[in-house]
Amino acid sequence: MKPEVSDWLQNNYFSAAQPVLKNTAGIYPLILASQQGRSDVVNFLIEQNAALDVIDQYGNNALWAACYADSSDCINALIHAGIDINHQNSASGATVLIFAASSGREKVVEQLLAAGADPELKTHDDFTALDLASTRKTLKLISQLVKSGD
């Protein structure tokens, strides 16, 4: 284990002996590392067989946290590891694509679409990523894909 990863685990109250387990605050290291854009830690945790289906108190997975952080490296690592790219949080039914589109994260939207995120999934209120797109570029990216039927 690299010293930077060991330090991160210790500083965030995770066990070096069992690095994929929650800390005393109930936080999963994979989610926190993703939220902080720490691709070195995310890759280490993936190598340690961290569960990819863990969720935070809001019903979001580590991919959501990586998208929140706008961390392309973390997003790539999680997608390549097999995380559910179309996970819908229990509170609103939003996916990471819906979140990224609605918050203007254009590069994240491009990355998610290229990786196969489903632009037609809907929130509990019946909104898609296209409905909630907050920038012209995001609107164009998603609408081209929806129109082409890919």
Domains of the chain and any CATH numbers: 1-84 (1.25.40.20), 85-150 (1.25.40.20)
The pLDDT score that the predictor gives to residue 19 is 96
Q: Tell which residue, 108, 150, 100, 107, has the closest CA to residue 130.
A: 100
Question: Region 6-35: what's the mean pLDDT?
Answer: 96
Question: Region 60-69: what's the mean pLDDT?
Answer: 97
The pLDDT score that the predictor gives to residue 144 is 86
Question: Region 38-54: what's the mean pLDDT?
Answer: 98
Question: Region 59-79: what's the mean pLDDT?
Answer: 97
Burial of 3 (0-12, 13-18, 19+ CB in 10 A): exposed
Are the CB atoms for 92 and 100 separated by under 8 Å?
no
Number of neighbours of residue 143 by Cβ within 10 angstroms: 13
The answer on pLDDT for 145 being more than 90 is no
The pLDDT score that the predictor gives to residue 56 is 95
The pLDDT score that the predictor gives to residue 149 is 60
The pLDDT score that the predictor gives to residue 28 is 98
The answer on pLDDT for 78 being more than 70 is yes
The answer on pLDDT for 46 being more than 60 is yes
Q: Give the side-chain half-sphere CA count within 13 A for 118.
A: 11
The answer on pLDDT for 53 being more than 80 is yes
